[in-house]
Amino acid sequence: MESFSARLKTAMDARHLKQIDIVHAAERAGVKLGKSHISQYVGGKTIPRTETLRFLADTLGVDEEWLLGHDTPETSHPQPPAILAETAQSDRPQSQRNTTSNHPTILTEEGIPMRQFHKSTKLDNVLYDVRGPVVDEAARMEEAGMHVLKLNIGNPAPFGFRTPDEVVYDMGRQLTDTEGYSASKGLFSARKAIMQYAQLKNIPNVGIEDIYTGNGVSELINLSMSALLDNGDEVLVPSPDYPLWTACVNLAGGTAVHYTCDEKSEWYPDIDDMRAKITDRTVAIVLINPNNPTGALYPPEVLQQIVDLAREHQLMIFSDEIYDRLVMDGLKHVSIASMAPDLFCVTFSGLSKSHMIAGYRIGWMVLSGNKRVAKDYIEGLNMLTNMRICSNVPAQSIVQTALGGHQSVNDYIVPGGRIHDQRDYIYEALNAIDGVTAVKPKAAFYIFPKLDVKKFNITDDEQFALDLLHDKRILITRGGGFNWQEPDHFRIVYLPRIEVLKDAVDKLADFLSYYHQ
């Protein structure tokens, strides 16, 4: 039986198509298919998943089964291949042409263009590679029976981190009381506990009505951007960032303008770069502190410079602080809102990481400071909050329990604790690899190492991630997935136990001993 790669090359040669032609066809069709994917398919290193296979068969005008190497007729389509249909339709009457001319046309048996339904153009600038093409390839490999070590996503449960028993017990006791909707902003008990937590963080001017619960912080980021932005509004977002921030700004019609975080300065924000990127369209600054993906923790002097800048230009501050209870080395997290009582601030946090309950989906945002200047915006927030009815009520019911009493996360972040010791190991082990350097994280459970791109000739970080996955069965997230512009970084989640991390680092070191892109 002829291989998939051989059949693919045969079909491409028969139609005089190069790899880049397939990539361009995918762009027009709204299919995420990059140069690295095609080269993997042509090189015989991997086989596409069902949706991609269908696109390739349609584009090349061949049968899917034939493309997979089975003995069926080469083509079962009476119409021209989709990639050629655009040229064919130029000879047709205007009434029969596809109105979305940037997509390949699908024709009926009679040769009449069929209406197609495409994803919104608002998704054109949306990126979320934490669950992206490389993850799709890992899923395909797992379906084929291969074991993949997933160091790509901050999900504590698969690595043996358990929810505190008291939290599980209290949720069970309250399940029958949480079957209905809650108030849109959340249960009183949950918001009261969050309000008191905000007080402990010295966040000023916060009452019960300033607390909003959400299905994780992710939902609230989306909601907060949708309520604020008009087309063309600009928001300063860090690079590297947690990519949901950039995605939500763009989806809301705004423009994410990335300010650089400086690796040479502990990954702190470059204040001069931030200042240079403020325009008359800038409405807000986003801060991720502690930072994902770098693990940086910003000291008060850095936060003060950001406050001064926001004050000078009358900007809102959005501060993502979901990792504020995962701070190591005896350091203390400071909420930027506590330093800006005269500014309008929105602070985000939750229990997914600190209490190892990512699947419960419970987060919150806190409005603080000068709320008079945001009265209309708050009205918009309330409107969207009411529209989604409420967040997960059983998860809300354990907020009070989780925030009170002994904080089990403290046991993980001190010497002898898992997160602390795994952090120390991965930092030292990565820096021991020739061609790899990394800044030591101060918080969270991520590290963002740098590759010597000249040594490894790396020009495509997605290709690097795919090659590592295929050769060593290790799944990481490329630096570009965090809106980092150079192909020289990747993120590792150091949640696995040290013996697992050691095996992963040994495989990475072996991979880099021969890798050259």
Cβ-count burial 117-134 (b if 16+ within 10 Å, e if not): eeeeeeeeebbebbebbb
User: Is residue 110's pLDDT more than 90?
Assistant: no
Instruction: Work out the average pLDDT over 383-411.
Output: 94
- What pTM value is reported for the model? 0.79
Distance CA 56, CA 22 (A): 8
Look at 15-19, 168-172, 341-345, 356-360 and tell me which has the smallest mean pLDDT. 15-19
Work out the average pLDDT over 102-119: 74
Do 222 and 319 sit in the same domain of this protein? yes
| Residue-range definition of the domain harbouring residue 427 | 129-152+415-514
Per-residue pLDDT at 126:
72
Residue 393, token pair as written in the block: 């009520």
What is the identity of the amino acid at 478?
R
Residues 183 and 327 in one domain: yes
C-alpha angle with apex 336: 331 to 340, nearest 5 degrees?
Answer: 140
Whether 80 maps to a domain, the answer reads no
d(Cα 509, Cα 432) in Å, to the nearest integer? 9
Is 95 a domain residue?
A: no
pLDDT of residue 510: 97
Q: 345 and 451 share a domain? A: no
Report the share of the chain in percent with pLDDT over 90.
69
Residue whose structure tokens are 């809300």: 396
Q: Using one digit for the tens of pLDDT, what is the confidence trace for 461-506?
A: 999 999 999 999 999 999 999 999 999 999 999 999 999 999 999 9
Instruction: Clarify whether residues 384 and 259 are in a common domain.
Output: yes
Q: How many domains does one find in the chain? A: 3
364-368: average pLDDT: 98
Question: What average pLDDT does this structure show over 282-287?
Answer: 98
Token couple for 126: 């949306």
CA 462, CA 476: separation in Å to the nearest integer?
A: 10
Give residue 31's pLDDT: 84
Least confident of 33-37, 301-305, 490-494: 33-37
User: What is the reported pLDDT for 95?
Assistant: 38
- What does the block give as tokens for 386? 């009411």
> Tell me, what's the pLDDT at 81?
44
Q: Among 350, 381, 406, give the residue marking a domain's end.
A: 406
What is the distance, to the nearest Å, from the Cα of residue 176 to the centroid of all Cα atoms in its chain?
A: 34
Residues 340, 247, single domain; the answer is: yes
- CB neighbourhood size of 251 (10 A): 18
Amino acid 127: pLDDT: 65
446: three-class secondary structure by DSSP: strand
What's the whole-number mean pLDDT along residues 108-129?
A: 75
Q: What is the pLDDT of residue 436?
A: 97
HSE at residue 459, side-chain half, CA atoms within 13 A, is 4
Asked which of 38-47, 183-192, 198-207 is least confident by mean pLDDT, the reply is 38-47
Is the pLDDT at 79 greater than 60? The verdict is no
**Residues 197 and 268 reside in one and the same domain:** yes
Asked whether residue 193 falls in the same domain as residue 138, the answer is: no
The pLDDT value recorded for residue 115 is: 82
Asked whether residue 101 is assigned to any structural domain, the reply reads: no
Residues 380 and 481 in one domain: no
- Average pLDDT across the chain, whole number: 89
**109 found inside a domain:** no
Looking at the fold, whether 376 and 450 belong to one and the same domain comes out as no
At which of 406, 434, 454 does a domain end?
406
Average pLDDT of 140-159?
91
Model pLDDT, residue 492: 97
Q: Does the pLDDT value for residue 187 go beyond 80? A: yes
Q: Is residue 120 part of a domain?
A: no
With CA atoms as reference, report the closest residue to 444 among 303, 320, 328, 346.
328
pLDDT at position 498, please?
Answer: 97
Average pLDDT of the residues in 132-161: 90
Same structural domain, 376 and 427: no
Say yes or no to pLDDT of 114 above 70.
yes
Distance of alpha carbon 467 from alpha carbon 74, whole angstroms: 31
Task: Indicate whether 44 belongs to any domain.
Answer: yes
Structure tokens at 243: 């990519």
Range from 23-27, 233-237, 323-327, 332-336 carrying the lowest mean pLDDT: 23-27
Q: Within a domain: residue 108?
A: no
pLDDT mean over 90-119: 60
Examine residue 306 and state whether it is found in any structural domain, yes or no. yes
Residue found by looking up tokens 């200042």 in the block:
275
- Relative orientation angle of helices 418-431 and 498-514, to the nearest 10 degrees: 20
In sign, the C-alpha dihedral spanning 223, 224, 225, 228 is positive
- The position carrying tokens 């909050």 is 385
Query: What is the C-alpha separation between 269 and 264, in angstroms, rounded?
Result: 11
Flag whether pLDDT at 2 surpasses 70: yes
Among 365, 382, 406, the domain-final residue is 406
Q: Is 21 in the same domain as 138?
A: no
Are 61 and 140 found together in one domain?
A: no
484/261 Cα distance (integer angstroms): 10
